Chains A and B, each alone.
Chain A
Amino acid sequence: MAPRTNLNFILNDTPVSLHEIGASDTLLDFLRLNRNLTGTKEGCAEGDCGACTVLVGRRAARGLVYEAVNACIRLMPSLDGCHIVTIEHLSGQGGALHPVQQAMLDHHGSQCGFCTPGIVMSLYALWMDNPRPSVADIEVALQGNLCRCTGYAPILRAAKAASETGGQGMDALIAHRADMAARLAAMADGARVELSRNGQDRAIIPADVTDLAAVLAEHEKPTIVAGSTDVGLWITKHMRDISPAVFIINLAELQTITQDDTGLTLGGGVSYTDAAPALLAAYPQLAEFWGRIGGAQVRNMGTVGGNVANGSPIGDTPPLLIALGAELALSSMRGTRRMLVQDFFIEYGKQDRAPDEFVSALHIPPMPADALFCGYKVTKRRDEDISAVAAGFFVQKDGYNITSARLAYGGMAGTPMRAKGAEAALIGKPFSRESFAAAASAIARDFTPLSDWRASKEYRATLAANLLLRFYDQMVGEDETLTLRQEDVA
């Protein structure tokens, strides 16, 4: 089949087909500059403030799902066959306000109003999926939205009120979900898509995984784009050329999630949001951690595979995956190879991936019955912040003594890294606070962290040690941890 050279999607009510569109064109610029849909705002152009929040409807295994995303770092080629919904689409005929909008008005949820369209869209996504949200659910839904005026209190009141109003049955997106799913399905032609702007800024959407391997083999130094929560900033902040860019987010084969005797396998394109149900069922200890990765918009876009492939020393998931003994599958025309996630990171900025390889899957082994595991993330601000230190701890014991330990840290070195000295200090020792205190004092020899704007080296070192004590206290049930969400407070 000849490659298709246009990008097709539905914008609010309108089918759109674009021929001249580049790999680095953002959805936000398209909406504001090309379509004069100026209700969607640019606050930061890095996916952190949420003023540009729109909904993207995509065909997932569970049907057509609408998710809040950051239009500022969402790249146009990732939207082939999707339904884009902006704030302008929300009001009904004759300007009747949607229940979420009405609640925001009634409860004085806007002051300057600049963050408001994004907040309305985030609350709309919540209202669609969760008609009876708790305050905790609302806080989580708003993790990707900043407001500088209201102090959020009236917005929380509005979200509650919108849920009390209900009306989901009359909502246009919900009512027409099946029709829209059929329209989007009809747009999927199974062809490779090749796009460019005047022949520059090329984007390729492979037809399938086999085609992906072929595309990567055909091009020198292609940029693989999954959720673009990091690549988006290469464009908006660093003005880097990513051409030719290969978009993998639409490939169904990379969206698979399987759970069997060998453990949990996540396809390389599975988002944090899609991974959550299976992952948190298998490793319920991660519930709090997982809910603190980015904001809802970032979790909807970003992929676990991309978080590893990207190689950042402060990525959220590598310490967890390393502690769990997870493996990475790298595929290419040359076949597939598997390695421990910990071995993927060679040094700062360097990973064990050839330019023609892509992350096809992550395999996480099952938890042995005698294993203890937890993940920690310490940040300046609780939500939507990058770790000062992140950690994943996995310890096995034979009743009394510790038999194995994987203590993995992020933010402590140029790559995510295990604390070998601290591990050695634990193995063969009784499972006691004294043993963990000894391991904690070994941390100072394991790492020489850096000082930066997120934390001083002294704080990082102290935290890395103290988190081992936190782990012990928590495992023996003697820990007092800070209450996290609204409901947790009596």
Chain B
Amino acid sequence: MHDRLTSVSDYAKHLDAALNDSFLRRALDTFAVAYKANREAVFSDVDEQALIRAVSDSREAAAAQLDELCARFTAKAEALGVRVHRAADAAEANRLMIDIARENSVRRVIKAKSMTAEEIGLNAALEGAGLQVDETDLGEWIIQLRHEGPSHMVMPAIHLSRGQVAEDFSKFTGIEQDREDVQKLVKVARVQLRPVFAQADMGITGANFAVAETGAMVTVTNEGNARMVTTLPRVHVALMGLDKLVPRYEDALAALEVLPRNATAQRLTASVSWISGTEEGKVRHFILLDNGRAAVAKDPLFSQIFRCVRCGACANVCPVYRLVGGHRMGHIYIGAIGLILTYLFHDKAKAHILCHNCTGCEACKTVCAGGIDLPRLIREIRARLNEEQGSPLESALIGKVMASRELFHRLLSFMRFAQKPVTSGGFVRHLPAVLLGRHGYKSLPALADKPFRRHWPELTETLPEPEAPVARIAIFAGCAQDFMYPEQLKACVRFFHARNATLLFPMQQTCCGLPLSMMGERAAALAVARQNVEAFSAPGFASCDHIVTLCASCAAHLRHVYPQYDPAFAAFAEKIVDFSTLARKFLERLPIPLALPDPALRIAYHASCHLYRGLGVHDAPRELIARAGTYLPTPEEDVCCGFGGTYSVKFPQVSAGLLDKKLNACAASGATHLAVDCPGCVMQLRGGADARGMKLKVVHMAELFS
């Protein structure tokens, strides 16, 4: 079933297949847009951030007292007649399940949807023991008929069309089923499954929560099938991960406010069952599954996964999931959390392939029901895998080169020389197609003749120190702007100089380290961080008021990740500011007014991931645009353009898909310009527009005012 993750090249083939699945693309597109609006509506009547904090706090507390919770839950449940087991791993859980079935002379098993059962491969184990197993959740039943795994944690069959379902149902029932009418197809399940419910000997469910104070469990469904699975058969077994334990009802109820809102944009699902103890004449077992969880609970960083309520929201908003679907965005668990749980619960080789398929756009982090820093955990997995298994050659090499500023910058100088014969109009052209391979979807930028750092001495001569400076602003150039787009930095310098600021540029600064961190090169990332903090703490620079960077990705990394490396870096990190925020602040003071907006400039905006979500900057760039020309809102401004640094190199096919969406939206809007706050996005979008022969001018925000 999950054989698509055997090698990087196989994975690439499966990604291609998904990208060519037009039904999947359309279905996930429609879903992504509808989900966002519906989610916002159902969160409008609760305090979203307070609920997320409540979930996060209660789950972290649960992880910290896991043994105690487990003991209390077990004692309480057993006192009410439930038999409670703890399984160390998947094999033990499956064995326990089979033993319970044998002990009770069970032949037929029905199941309600359980990701934990998927995790341990339960169906195969039960069938191997000669048991008849039937899924009762509609989506799970459909994929069971197809011998597939789920492609979403909440909507397991979202990858299938009604026609495909009708075909499977026709085959199963031996009667030709309606291929269009979904209502009728749903009734096929009603008719087919009622006898299955009636005849089952044993029902298996998961649990959404396990409440330690009374030993009760909770199931959350829309179809009501979990109620039937826990009621009709004489034996009920609930399989639950240790992470489902919560101390009190209040913890479960807070999570229940978030779970349906985040999963399917519902205030509550149709049926929630709160079950304690056993009933007369029936047998109930709870199997608490460890499978690595107890160890994870003790990990200072990864214990965060205890906050996951399996809502699937991280997939719902993931731009990569939207393009390639769940079967390519996880092993068993899907979405950002799926990449992480594959590493923790399953196979490290699979995790190694999967964990790079993330652009780092942080969309998941902002919607996570438990406030898990998913992008950080994914970066951490890359680092741990590199440490455990050794870095890939190119990654290790880049790490070595970049840890030394001199070496890195010398290499860039050499490349500038080497590219000369193939460069025109700021792009590298005339490369034989064979060298470009799958990267032909965008024109690649050329390195500038002269990096910004070599412009700096003459710039300082032409722009004299203001008499009464209002602020001292140090520039963090970032590699892309320093070496590819120095004109953007020059525009920034002129903008602030004209408004009476003193500008500073520490020459010893180097790459911010984000690409290294994304590749999992932890030591090199830390080394460059230290160099940068030292460069900006040197005499003459330490007293600056702001450190401005025109690169949203650098800014978010410097601001948020540096203090994680070393708390002593916090003073540096606090001074980091993006161009738009600082420019708006200066325009509010207005020593030099801007020219009136030029109505001929019809400017669309792309909200760079690391600016919009990373730094939470929403209004400043849009206000600036409106002062330069006509702001032209386009749909989904805040969805990733597909650059993602090394991501676009590793997954060109997905990157191109994301880029297409952006450029299509711009083309439809009639924009003359597309403004962004990040040179990575400029590289991606400008390269894409050039490759398509579009007239659209892709500019950095700073360039709007030059």
Determine if chain A interacts with chain B: no
Chain A residues within CB distance 8 Å of chain B: none
Chain B residues within CB distance 8 Å of chain A: none
